[in-house]
A and B are shown apart, each in its own frame.
Chain A
């Protein structure tokens, strides 16, 4: 039994890719992204929200980077972490300014009168949550990529 594990370890060390891990993460990553979207979309009524959703999504990308390398992770993300971070900050600031434009104090929550089927109420707090989600996703993936590229 021990010899078997030694052989597996040697095989892994030769091509640095575990077949089990890379197969698992290809199924697990879409599920994690879906769950993070679910957490984001119900965050203003129940536990969840932009921060938790962003952390779950970035954990999925971190697992992908461990299993298949950083290059392929950058390829499937398509957008640079920096772009995600700055656009998230812009969306967050804009959601606060929308109340100022309609003559109310900064960051007052504005809600649509009708509910959209499938989601609950939609308003500026949802936009704020989306911004936080993008900021957390961009920041954590940027940290992980730069730490893994260091050596």
Chain B
């Protein structure tokens, strides 16, 4: 019988690390600025997943409030980036 802690340790954490590395490759290679912005945005969501898994694994629900704040703020960052990319295109 597999417990939830084993599931997190052997499935959730490794898949998060692998997707983190893939996004890192996209941010380094990314041909345009928009690719890098989307990469940073998804990196924020992977950080959210990491914190959720950590708080379940070590049984500390206090960290879940940080997740709420991070989810709200990373959305703001992406929206602001999109606003300024669009503005820069308009000026050309």
Residue numbers of A with Cβ under 8 A of B are 9, 12-13, 21, 28, 32, 35, 39, 46-48, 52, 56, 59-60, 62-63, 66-67, 151
Q: How far is the CA of A67 from the CA of B83 in the complex (A)?
A: 9
Contact call B86/A47, Cβ cutoff below 8 A:
no
Question: Size band of the B side of the interface?
Answer: 10 to 19
Binding site for A on B (CB under 8 A): 62, 65-66, 68-69, 72-73, 75-76, 79-80, 83, 86-87, 90
A67–B65 alpha-carbon span in the complex (Å): 25
Among all A-B residue pairs, the 4 with the closest Cβ atoms = A59-B76, A66-B83, A63-B76, A66-B79
Give A47 to B61 CA distance when docked, in angstroms: 11
> Complex formed: what's the CA distance from A60 to B79 in Å?
12
In the complex, the answer to whether A66 meets B80 with C-beta atoms within 8 Å is yes
Smallest CB separation, B73 vs chain A (Å): 6
Judging by beta carbons under 8 Å apart, are A62 and B76 in contact?
yes
CB <8 Å contact, B72 and A56: yes
B79 near A32 with CB under 8 A, answer no
With A46-B62, A56-B72 already in contact, the answer to whether A13 and B80 are too (CB < 8 A) is no
The B interface, classified by DSSP as helix, strand, loop or mixed, is helix
Contact between B62 and A47, CB atoms less than 8 A apart: yes
* A28 surroundings in chain B (CB, below 8 A): 72, 75
Contact A56–B69 (Cβ < 8 Å): yes
Question: Closest chain B residue to A148 by CB distance?
Answer: B83
Q: Which of B62, B68, B75, B90 contacts A35 (CB 8 A)?
A: B68
Residues of A with C-beta under 8 A to B76: 59, 62-63, 66
Which chain A residues lie closer than 8 Å to B87 at the CB level? 151
Known contacts A12-B86, A67-B79; is A48 also within 8 Å of B65 by CB?
A: yes
Q: Is the CB of A39 within 8 A of B65?
A: yes
What residue of chain B has the Cβ atom nearest to residue A59's Cβ? B76
> What chain B residues lie within 8 Å of A151 (beta carbons)?
87
Task: List the B side residues contacting A13 at CB < 8 Å.
Answer: 86, 90
Q: Which residues of A contact B79 (CB under 8 A)?
A: 21, 63, 66-67
Q: How far is the CB of A12 from chain B (nearest CB, A)?
A: 7
Q: Which residue of B lies closest to A53 (CB)?
A: B69
User: How far is B5's CA from A91's CA once the two chains are assembled, in angstroms?
Assistant: 47
